[in-house]
Amino acid sequence: MSDFIIQTKTIKDTNTLPSELQIDPRIIYRELKEVEKTVQGIIEKVMKEGDSGLRELTEQFDHCLINDFIIPKSELEYAWHRIKPEFRDTVELIVQTVRDFHNKQSEHSKCFSRNQSILGEIISPIDSVAAYVPGGRASYPSSVIMTVIPAQIAGVKNILLLTPPNSNGVVSSDILGIAHYLGINKVVRAGGAQAIAAIAFGTESIPRVDKIVGPGNIYVTVAKRLLFGIIGIDSLAGPSEVVIIADEDCRPDWVALDLLAQAEHDPLSRAILFSTSDEVIIQVQKSIQKELIDHPLPFKKIIPIYLFQVDNLLSAFELTNKIAPEHLELCCADHLRLLPLIQHAGAIFLGNGAPVALGDYGYGPNHVLPTMSGSRFCSPLSVRDFIKTSSYIFPQKGDSTLVYSRYASLAEREGFFFHRKSLLARISPYDTL
């Protein structure tokens, strides 16, 4: 049985977050630095040794010896046909709901004129992308759908998957089958920080790509962070988190399940309840304990579930905005009216009928979401993560803003001789001064 502690507390001062929530940026920074030491060694080994370094690290962390990292295409097709028809129907339905939602995110190139000049932005898809599909403690076929669909809608031509093998060297056949169904034909059997390094530098057998996206544990997340710049990344979608705001309108037994559902991902996951009702807190605590008797979580560490009592719902919203959680459930009456109070949360679930698990498995929006307070500045994975823009200008004589000497004067102030000269050289054909 896991060493389970539920922390309960009453919060009076909403200006200061309880220290156990540990979202102080200095603490996050120090924790990341600790993991960085390990990850840096892993990255350098793969960078220097390529496939043989990756092989050794896979043996060390995934406990299996892999000869060929690329899984043959025929295995993907075989895996899809081995999936039972009812489950194939489920996959097809979820793929459609996720596709419908993401289709609405499509962006288009823009062109506008100013006086007689033409300016604009061209949108183009990223050439090649790797999607990381986690597979350490659990296997995540749902993440194949979440990462591949927005990339395809954006028009990415080369999409491959990275996913760790189990100790027999095998990758979940659901991951392979869904990859095939979605038209992916390259799956790389490698995981953790070593897989991120392999795709960032390229190895003898694994091609380098332009961007890596997808969720993962702390090692995967830190590797993405360290390699950003060498390779593009999406958000830091690390160990799962949930905040639930609940009043007397909630179902405490369901709240308990939703807290446990995100806590079961990882010992570093966090599940937090803010409730105005002491009775709700007592009932949630009882339900969690009851659930864990039948189903203890497989972690040796203490599971971070926090149940906080607050004076009013406003305080709960203030605290939540400070946490900026990955997921937020509003299990309170009037949730629609309260929604505008939320400034920072990756995905919001409204009402008692909206568990995070529904979003996890593809009700529409993406389940790859920023963690560690990242929803202050990052968004859920979307089609926008797979495109980039190039701006363009086509100046014309009749444009009254086109006075080269004005731009040249700014160059002069910055002290750039050739910038200034390059502008002044244009004066004779167009400039009116």
Ligand X SMILES: NC(=O)c1ccc[n+]([C@@H]2O[C@H](COP(=O)([O-])OP(=O)(O)OC[C@H]3O[C@@H](n4cnc5c(N)ncnc54)[C@H](O)[C@@H]3O)[C@@H](O)[C@H]2O)c1
327 is in an annotated binding site: yes
Catalytic residue check, 107? no
Q: Which of 219, 254, 306, 386 binds ligand X (CB under 6 A)?
A: 219
Rounded to a whole number of angstroms, the minimum distance from the CB of residue 230 to Zn ion is 30
- Give the shortest CB-213-to-Zn ion separation in angstroms: 17
- Which listed range, 143-151, 246-254, 294-302, 354-362, lies at the site for Zn ion (CB under 5 A)? 354-362
Please tell me whether 382 is known to bind a ligand.
no
Distance CA 282, CA 266 (A): 25
Distance CA 257, CA 250 (A): 12
- What's the Cα-to-Cα distance from 125 to each of 150, 160, 162, 308, rounded to whole Å? 11, 15, 20, 45
State the minimum distance, in angstroms, from the CB of residue 266 to Zn ion: 10
Binding ligand X by CB under 6 A: which of 180, 211, 322, 367? Answer: 367
Q: Which of 135, 232, 325, 359 binds ligand X (CB under 6 A)?
A: 135
Residue of 241, 318, 326, 329 marked active site: 326
140 lies in the site for ligand HSO, by CB under 6 A: yes
In angstroms, the CA 108 to CA 122 distance is 8
- Binding residue (CB under 6 A) for ligand X from 147, 172, 217, 352: 217
Shortest Å, Cβ 361 to ligand X = 11
Measured CA to CA, the distance from residue 387 to residue 106 in angstroms comes to 10
Nearer to ligand HSO, 381 or 423 (CB): 381
Q: What is the 3-state secondary structure (H, E, C) of 31-98?
A: HHHHHHHHHHHHHHHHHHHCHHHHHHHHHHHHCCCCCCCEECHHHHHHHHHHCCHHHHHHHHHHHHHH
H-state helical runs in 264-393: 278-294, 313-323, 335-338, 356-360
Host H or E run for residue 124:
strand 117-125
74 CB-near residues (< 8 Å, 6+ apart): none
DSSP character at residue 374: G
180 is an active site residue: no
Distance between CA 59 and CA 281 in Å, rounded? 45
329 binds ligand HSO (CB under 6 A): no
414 marked as binding residue: yes
Side-chain half-sphere CA neighbours of 22 within 13 A: 17
For ligand X, which is the closer residue by CB, 250 or 297? 297
Please give the C-alpha separations between residue 330 and each of 251, 255, 317, 360, in angstroms, as whole numbers. 12, 10, 10, 16
Distance, CA of 297 to CA of 304 (rounded, Å):
12
Select the residue interacting with ligand X from 265, 270, 322, 335 (CB under 6 A): 265
Residues from 222 through 251 that contact ligand X (CB under 6 A): 237-240
- Asked whether residue 78 is marked as a ligand-binding residue, the answer is no
Q: Give me the helix-helix angle, 141-154 and 85-103, nearest 10°.
A: 40
Rounded CA separation 217/87 (Å): 27
Tell me how far CA of residue 46 lies from CA of 244, 284, 402, in angstroms: 41, 46, 51
Question: Which of 338, 354 has the CB closer to Zn ion?
Answer: 354
- The response to whether 194 counts as a known ligand-binding position is yes
Q: Does 327 bind ligand X (CB under 6 A)?
A: no
Q: Which member of 360, 373, 378, 402 binds Zn ion (CB under 5 A)?
A: 360
Site for ligand HSO in 245-264 (CB under 6 A): 262
Taking CB within 5 to 8 Å according to partner kind, which of Zn ion, ligand X, ligand HSO, none is near residue 304?
A: none
Residues that bind ligand HSO in the complex, under the rule CB under 6 A:
140, 142, 240, 262, 326, 360, 367, 369
Residues that are catalytic: 326-327
Residues that bind ligand X in the complex, under the rule CB under 6 A:
38, 61-62, 134-138, 140, 143, 164, 191-193, 215-217, 219-220, 237-240, 265-266, 269, 326, 367-369, 371
Residue ranges of the annotated binding site for Zn(2+) are: 262, 265, 360, 419
Residue ranges of the annotated binding site are: 132, 194, 217, 240, 262, 265, 327, 360, 414, 419
